[in-house]
């Protein structure tokens, strides 16, 4: 599920920017509207609509990435995307209180830079997986990342994971095995790459949760874009080549979609709690499947559909349990 940086909605409200949502109850007329995470009247419904729209755009981005990845090195594609995204990040952060001077200051510069580097590597590998495995199967495997977040939150962050969530994690990995079918076919390298992407993104999410203890979202946002741009430039500048005129059109659309999707995602989180939005992030799998079948001629294999359904159900359960524990 790729956004302009490859950054996706995280599996629970602890991995997303912390918002303190509340509801105001009036004891006397006139009635008071529920208050959302920003202190304004609750607009969760609109936030959900924006999340669903963002997922449609994310699916379009992945389609553009696959088109370009068939003819150009994935590092080149990601490098150009990140150059544009870094400019967007700098322009947006500069308008926030404290501006760039505040955004640069972090108590964990090494971890922040590592986050950006991991996200660049994950995004690059994802494009390679699209080429080798296809959009549908890649995303079906990638949906395991919330389960990996839950599994790794203990050893990395020292958080407690109860037996219910461990059971859900086990069920989810049964779904992954059903998708991969390691005993029936030769393991496709694309399948391995897709799972590596899920693992890297889970680590990225946990590191994001870790730095959020000391740095506000504005700082992490800035470091995601700038550190990622620096990393991908160092890794990919040697693969620079001019794109064909038609390819520049796709690249331009990819960058525009990336900026638009990220803006919509930010707006969605301003309107609603992360825990209310996260289940709808799975709608991207539906749109990716539609694009994969209609545009790229991919086939929805029964094992992939059933396996993905199991993984999504397990992921939703871990989200629900995390929400219950938070309460």
Three-state secondary structure call for residue 11: coil
18-54 burial code (b ≥16 CB/10 A, e <16): ebebeeeeeeeeeeeeeebbeeeebbbeebbbbbbbb
pLDDT at residue 181 in the model: 73
Positive or negative, the CA dihedral 101, 103, 108, 110 is negative
Statement: residue 7 has pLDDT above 70: no
Give, to the nearest 10 degrees, the angle between helix 135-142 and helix 109-133.
Answer: 140
- Phi and psi torsions of 18, nearest 5°: -70, 120
Picking from 220, 270, 244, 231, the residue whose alpha carbon sits closest to that of residue 109 is 220
In-domain check, residue 11: no
Binning the chain into helix, strand and coil, the percentages to the nearest 5 are 70, 0, 30
Residue with tokens 């890794």: 235
The C-alpha angle with vertex 88 and arms to 79 and 202, in degrees rounded to 5, equals 60
Asked whether residue 196 is assigned to any structural domain, the reply reads yes
Distance CA 268, CA 138 (A): 26
Residue 6, in any domain of the structure: no
318-323 mean pLDDT: 76
Q: CA 321 to CA 327: how far, in whole Å?
A: 10
Res 274 pLDDT > 80: no
User: 226: closest CA among 141, 136, 119?
Assistant: 119
Confidence class for position 321, pLDDT limits 50, 70, 90: confident
Q: List the structure tokens of 213.
A: 């203890």
The most confident of 6-10, 188-192, 237-241, by mean pLDDT: 237-241
Compute the distance between CA of residue 35 and CA of residue 18 in angstroms, rounded to an integer. Answer: 16
Quick one: pLDDT at residue 142? 94
pLDDT above 60 for 125 = yes
- What is the predicted pLDDT for the residue at 123? 95
End-to-end, the C-alpha distance of the chain in Å comes to 28
Average pLDDT over residues 185-195: 81
Q: What is the pLDDT of residue 183?
A: 58
Among 28-32, 116-120, 125-129, 253-257, the range scoring the smallest mean pLDDT is 28-32
140, 307 contact by CB (below 8 A):
yes
Q: Which two tokens stand for residue 309?
A: 């359904």
**pLDDT of 31 above 70:** no
* 39 found inside a domain: no
Using DSSP's 3-state secondary structure scheme, residue 41 falls into strand
Confidence of residue 19 (pLDDT cuts 50, 70, 90): very low
Domain annotation covers residue 78 = yes
Length of the chain: 327
pLDDT at 280 over 60: yes
The answer as to whether 286 is a domain residue is yes
The answer, yes or no, to whether the previous bond of 30 is cis (omega within 30 of 0) is yes
Rounded to an integer, the average pLDDT of 133-145 is: 93
- Residue 158: predicted pLDDT: 76
Q: What is the pLDDT of residues 226-239, one digit of tens each?
A: 999 999 999 999 99
Q: Give me the mean pLDDT over the 13-41 stretch.
A: 36
By C-alpha distance, which of 86, 99, 88 is closest to 232? 86
Q: Is residue 24 part of a domain?
A: no
Q: What local confidence, expressed as pLDDT, does residue 18 receive?
A: 29
Q: Name the percent of the chain lying above pLDDT 70.
A: 84
Give the pLDDT confidence score for residue 17 in this predicted structure: 33
Its pTM surpasses 0.75: yes
Domain that holds residue 228: 47-326
CB 194 within 8 A of CB 133: yes
Residue 194 reports pLDDT greater than 90: yes
CB 115 within 8 A of CB 211: yes
pLDDT > 80? residue 205: yes
The reported pLDDT for the residue numbered 303 is 87
Secondary structure of residue 35 in the 3-state scheme:
strand
| DSSP conformation class of 200 | H
In-domain check, residue 116 = yes
Tokens (6 digits) for 36: 């959302």
What integer best gives the mean pLDDT of the chain? 83
pLDDT tens digits, 44-98: 889 889 999 999 999 999 999 999 999 999 999 999 999 999 999 999 999 988 8
How many domains are there within the chain? 1
């Amino acid at each position: 599920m790729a956004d302009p940086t490859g950054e996706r909605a995280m599996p629970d409200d602890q991995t997303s920017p912390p918002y303190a949502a509340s509801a105001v109850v009036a004891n006397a007329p006139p009635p008071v509207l529920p208050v959302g995470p920003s202190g304004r009247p609750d607009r969760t419904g609109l936030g959900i609509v924006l999340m669903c729209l963002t997922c449609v755009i994310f699916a379009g981005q992945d389609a553009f990435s696959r088109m370009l990845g068939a003819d150009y090195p994935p590092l080149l594609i990601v490098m150009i995307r990140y150059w544009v995204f870094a400019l967007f990040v700098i322009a947006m952060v500069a308008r926030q209180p404290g501006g760039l001077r505040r955004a640069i200051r972090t108590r964990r510069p090494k971890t922040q830079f590592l986050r950006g580097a991991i996200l660049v590597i994950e995004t690059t590998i994802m494009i390679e997986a699209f080429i080798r495995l296809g959009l549908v199967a890649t995303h079906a495997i990638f949906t395991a990342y919330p389960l990996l977040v839950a599994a790794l939150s203990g050893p990395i962050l020292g958080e407690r994971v109860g037996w219910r969530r461990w059971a859900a994690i086990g069920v989810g990995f049964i779904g992954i095995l059903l998708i991969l079918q390691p005993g029936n076919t030769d393991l496709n390298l694309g399948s391995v790459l897709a799972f590596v992407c899920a693992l890297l993104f889970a680590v990225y999410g946990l590191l994001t949760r870790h730095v959020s203890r000391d740095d506000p979202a504005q700082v992490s946002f800035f470091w995601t874009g700038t550190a990622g741009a620096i990393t991908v430039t160092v890794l990919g500048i040697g693969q620079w080549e001019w794109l064909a005129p038609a390819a520049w059109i796709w690249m331009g659309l990819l960058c525009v979609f990336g900026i638009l999707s990220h803006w919509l995602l930010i707006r969605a989180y301003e309107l609603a709690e992360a825990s209310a939005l996260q289940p709808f992030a799975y709608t991207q799998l539906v749109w990716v499947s539609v694009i994969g079948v209609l545009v790229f001629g991919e086939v929805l294999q029964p094992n992939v559909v059933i396996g993905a359904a199991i993984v999504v159900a397990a992921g939703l359960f871990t989200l629900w349990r995390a929400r219950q524990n938070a309460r």
